[in-house]
Structure 1
Amino acid sequence: MKRKELSSIEREALLMALLSQLLREEISSGQVLRQLRREVLGMSQTQYAELVGISRRTLSDLEADKASPTLALLNQVFRPLGLQTGLVPRNRHLRERLLSVESPSA
Protein backbone atom coordinates (compact mmCIF):
# COMPACT_ATOMS: atom_id res chain seq x y z
CA MET A 1 0.00 0.00 0.00
CA LYS A 2 1.33 3.39 -0.99
CA ARG A 3 1.99 5.96 1.73
CA LYS A 4 -0.21 9.07 1.68
CA GLU A 5 1.80 12.25 1.18
CA LEU A 6 1.35 14.58 4.16
CA SER A 7 0.60 18.26 3.60
CA SER A 8 2.89 20.81 5.23
CA ILE A 9 0.20 21.45 7.86
CA GLU A 10 -0.09 17.71 8.59
CA ARG A 11 3.73 17.38 8.81
CA GLU A 12 3.94 20.29 11.24
CA ALA A 13 1.08 18.91 13.36
CA LEU A 14 2.76 15.48 13.51
CA LEU A 15 6.09 17.06 14.43
CA MET A 16 4.57 19.15 17.22
CA ALA A 17 2.60 16.19 18.59
CA LEU A 18 5.70 13.96 18.62
CA LEU A 19 7.89 16.61 20.24
CA SER A 20 5.27 17.24 22.90
CA GLN A 21 5.11 13.50 23.63
CA LEU A 22 8.91 13.35 23.75
CA LEU A 23 9.12 16.20 26.25
CA ARG A 24 6.46 14.51 28.37
CA GLU A 25 8.52 11.28 28.23
CA GLU A 26 5.64 9.41 26.59
CA ILE A 27 7.87 8.34 23.68
CA SER A 28 11.63 8.16 23.09
CA SER A 29 13.84 10.07 20.67
CA GLY A 30 14.28 6.82 18.73
CA GLN A 31 10.52 6.50 18.32
CA VAL A 32 10.35 10.12 17.13
CA LEU A 33 13.11 9.47 14.61
CA ARG A 34 11.44 6.30 13.29
CA GLN A 35 8.02 7.90 12.94
CA LEU A 36 9.31 11.05 11.23
CA ARG A 37 11.55 9.04 8.88
CA ARG A 38 8.62 6.87 7.84
CA GLU A 39 5.69 9.29 7.88
CA VAL A 40 7.31 12.56 6.82
CA LEU A 41 10.06 11.39 4.51
CA GLY A 42 8.68 7.97 3.54
CA MET A 43 12.19 6.51 3.58
CA SER A 44 13.48 3.08 4.50
CA GLN A 45 16.22 2.75 7.11
CA THR A 46 18.74 2.08 4.34
CA GLN A 47 17.72 5.20 2.39
CA TYR A 48 17.77 7.44 5.46
CA ALA A 49 21.07 6.03 6.74
CA GLU A 50 22.66 6.82 3.35
CA LEU A 51 21.18 10.33 3.44
CA VAL A 52 22.66 11.14 6.84
CA GLY A 53 25.93 9.26 6.31
CA ILE A 54 25.65 6.47 8.89
CA SER A 55 25.23 2.71 8.71
CA ARG A 56 21.77 1.17 8.62
CA ARG A 57 22.70 -0.74 11.78
CA THR A 58 23.51 2.50 13.61
CA LEU A 59 20.17 3.97 12.52
CA SER A 60 18.38 0.81 13.62
CA ASP A 61 20.07 0.98 17.03
CA LEU A 62 19.12 4.67 17.38
CA GLU A 63 15.50 4.00 16.51
CA ALA A 64 15.37 1.06 18.94
CA ASP A 65 17.01 3.18 21.67
CA LYS A 66 19.87 0.68 21.89
CA ALA A 67 22.62 3.22 21.19
CA SER A 68 24.42 5.80 23.31
CA PRO A 69 24.82 8.46 20.63
CA THR A 70 26.90 11.60 20.82
CA LEU A 71 25.24 14.99 20.42
CA ALA A 72 26.97 15.29 17.06
CA LEU A 73 25.38 12.03 15.86
CA LEU A 74 21.94 13.06 17.12
CA ASN A 75 22.24 16.38 15.30
CA GLN A 76 23.40 14.54 12.18
CA VAL A 77 20.39 12.21 12.11
CA PHE A 78 17.77 14.80 13.06
CA ARG A 79 19.06 17.62 10.77
CA PRO A 80 17.15 16.44 7.63
CA LEU A 81 13.98 16.56 9.73
CA GLY A 82 14.60 20.19 10.69
CA LEU A 83 15.54 19.36 14.29
CA GLN A 84 18.56 19.75 16.52
CA THR A 85 19.35 18.61 20.03
CA GLY A 86 18.94 21.07 22.87
CA LEU A 87 18.65 21.54 26.57
CA VAL A 88 15.42 20.95 28.45
CA PRO A 89 14.86 20.76 32.20
CA ARG A 90 15.32 17.28 33.68
CA ASN A 91 12.50 17.96 36.13
CA ARG A 92 9.19 16.86 34.61
CA HIS A 93 7.25 19.64 36.33
CA LEU A 94 9.55 22.28 34.84
CA ARG A 95 9.22 20.71 31.38
CA GLU A 96 5.43 20.81 31.72
CA ARG A 97 5.63 24.49 32.68
CA LEU A 98 7.90 25.14 29.70
CA LEU A 99 5.38 23.47 27.37
CA SER A 100 2.54 25.55 28.75
CA VAL A 101 4.31 28.92 28.42
CA GLU A 102 3.14 30.92 25.46
CA SER A 103 5.63 32.88 23.39
CA PRO A 104 5.61 36.61 24.13
CA SER A 105 4.21 38.84 21.38
CA ALA A 106 6.79 40.56 19.20
Structure 2
Amino acid sequence: MKQRELTPDERERKLIEAARKLLTGEISEGQLLRTLRRDALGLSQEDYARLAGVSRRTLSDMEGDKGNISFTVMNRVYRPLGFKVGLIPRQPALLEQALQPQE
Protein backbone atom coordinates (compact mmCIF):
# COMPACT_ATOMS: atom_id res chain seq x y z
CA MET A 1 0.00 0.00 0.00
CA LYS A 2 1.40 3.37 -1.04
CA GLN A 3 1.48 6.04 1.63
CA ARG A 4 -0.22 9.38 1.13
CA GLU A 5 2.05 12.13 -0.16
CA LEU A 6 2.71 14.81 2.45
CA THR A 7 2.10 18.49 1.93
CA PRO A 8 5.16 20.77 2.02
CA ASP A 9 4.13 21.96 5.50
CA GLU A 10 3.80 18.37 6.77
CA ARG A 11 7.22 17.51 5.32
CA GLU A 12 8.74 20.56 6.97
CA ARG A 13 7.22 19.64 10.36
CA LYS A 14 8.67 16.12 10.08
CA LEU A 15 12.07 17.57 9.17
CA ILE A 16 12.06 20.00 12.11
CA GLU A 17 10.93 17.32 14.58
CA ALA A 18 13.60 14.90 13.36
CA ALA A 19 16.27 17.63 13.54
CA ARG A 20 15.23 18.40 17.12
CA LYS A 21 15.50 14.72 18.04
CA LEU A 22 18.96 14.55 16.45
CA LEU A 23 20.19 17.64 18.29
CA THR A 24 18.88 16.38 21.63
CA GLY A 25 20.45 12.96 21.13
CA GLU A 26 17.17 11.04 20.86
CA ILE A 27 18.10 9.65 17.43
CA SER A 28 21.31 9.11 15.47
CA GLU A 29 22.22 10.59 12.09
CA GLY A 30 21.36 7.27 10.46
CA GLN A 31 17.96 7.14 12.14
CA LEU A 32 17.30 10.70 10.99
CA LEU A 33 18.16 9.77 7.42
CA ARG A 34 16.01 6.62 7.42
CA THR A 35 13.05 8.35 9.07
CA LEU A 36 13.00 11.30 6.68
CA ARG A 37 13.65 9.17 3.58
CA ARG A 38 10.73 6.90 4.40
CA ASP A 39 8.29 9.14 6.29
CA ALA A 40 8.85 12.57 4.74
CA LEU A 41 9.73 11.59 1.18
CA GLY A 42 8.20 8.12 0.93
CA LEU A 43 11.18 6.79 -1.02
CA SER A 44 12.83 3.38 -1.04
CA GLN A 45 16.56 3.11 -0.39
CA GLU A 46 17.12 2.42 -4.09
CA ASP A 47 15.18 5.51 -5.19
CA TYR A 48 16.75 7.80 -2.61
CA ALA A 49 20.26 6.52 -3.38
CA ARG A 50 19.68 7.33 -7.04
CA LEU A 51 18.39 10.81 -6.13
CA ALA A 52 21.42 11.49 -3.91
CA GLY A 53 23.93 10.02 -6.36
CA VAL A 54 25.27 7.26 -4.10
CA SER A 55 25.03 3.48 -4.05
CA ARG A 56 22.23 1.77 -2.18
CA ARG A 57 24.89 0.06 -0.07
CA THR A 58 26.36 3.42 0.99
CA LEU A 59 22.90 4.66 1.92
CA SER A 60 22.20 1.47 3.86
CA ASP A 61 25.50 1.81 5.73
CA MET A 62 24.69 5.43 6.61
CA GLU A 63 21.20 4.54 7.83
CA GLY A 64 22.73 1.82 9.99
CA ASP A 65 25.36 4.24 11.36
CA LYS A 66 28.08 2.04 9.85
CA GLY A 67 31.12 2.65 7.73
CA ASN A 68 33.54 5.49 7.30
CA ILE A 69 31.67 7.93 5.08
CA SER A 70 33.37 11.11 3.84
CA PHE A 71 31.89 14.55 4.48
CA THR A 72 31.43 14.98 0.74
CA VAL A 73 29.27 11.86 0.50
CA MET A 74 27.40 12.72 3.69
CA ASN A 75 26.55 16.18 2.33
CA ARG A 76 25.43 14.64 -0.97
CA VAL A 77 23.11 12.25 0.87
CA TYR A 78 21.63 14.80 3.29
CA ARG A 79 21.23 17.63 0.75
CA PRO A 80 17.85 16.44 -0.67
CA LEU A 81 16.50 16.55 2.90
CA GLY A 82 17.68 20.12 3.46
CA PHE A 83 20.63 19.27 5.74
CA LYS A 84 24.36 19.81 5.56
CA VAL A 85 27.04 18.23 7.69
CA GLY A 86 28.46 20.49 10.37
CA LEU A 87 29.92 20.68 13.82
CA ILE A 88 27.87 20.98 16.97
CA PRO A 89 28.95 20.91 20.61
CA ARG A 90 29.01 17.41 22.13
CA GLN A 91 28.01 18.60 25.58
CA PRO A 92 24.24 19.11 25.88
CA ALA A 93 24.64 22.25 28.00
CA LEU A 94 26.87 23.90 25.39
CA LEU A 95 24.49 22.92 22.60
CA GLU A 96 21.57 24.38 24.53
CA GLN A 97 23.48 27.64 25.02
CA ALA A 98 24.41 27.75 21.33
CA LEU A 99 20.76 27.40 20.34
CA GLN A 100 19.52 30.18 22.63
CA PRO A 101 18.78 33.54 20.96
CA GLN A 102 21.39 36.21 21.66
CA GLU A 103 20.22 39.25 23.62
Q: TM-score, normalised by structure 2?
A: 0.90
Secondary structure (helix, strand or coil) at the match of 2:27 reads coil
Distance in 1 between residues matched to 2:102 and 2:77, nearest whole Å: 28
Aligned to 2:78: 78
Whole-angstrom distance in 2 between the partners of 1:8 and 1:27: 23
- The secondary structure found in structure 2 opposite 1:59 is helix
Helix, strand or coil for the counterpart of 1:2?
A: coil
**Who is 1:94 aligned against?**
94
Structure 1, unaligned runs of 5 or more: none
Could you list the per-position Cα deviations for residues 16-56 of structure 1 after superposition, in whole angstroms to 9, with x for gaps in the alignment? 11111101111001111111111222111011111112111
Provide structure 2 residue ranges, at least 5 long, that are not aligned to the other structure: none
Superimposed CA distance per residue, residues 67-103 of structure 1 (whole angstroms, 9 cap, x where no aligned partner): 221111110001111111112112111112333x237
**Identity percentage of aligned residues:** 50
Letter in 2 for 1:67: G
What's the CA shift for 1:4?
1.6
Q: Are 1:19 and 2:19 matched, yes or no?
A: yes
What is the identity, as a one-letter code, of the residue corresponding to 2:101?
A: E
Q: Which residue of 2 aligns with 1:63?
A: 63
Cα distance between partner residues in 2 of 1:2 and 1:58:
25
TM-score (norm 1): 0.87
AA aligned opposite 1:68: N
Indicate the RMSD between aligned Cα atoms, in angstroms: 1.6
List structure 1 segments (4+ residues) > 3 angstroms apart after TM superposition: none
How far, CA to CA, are the matches of 2:67 and 2:20 in structure 1? 22
How many residues are matched? 103
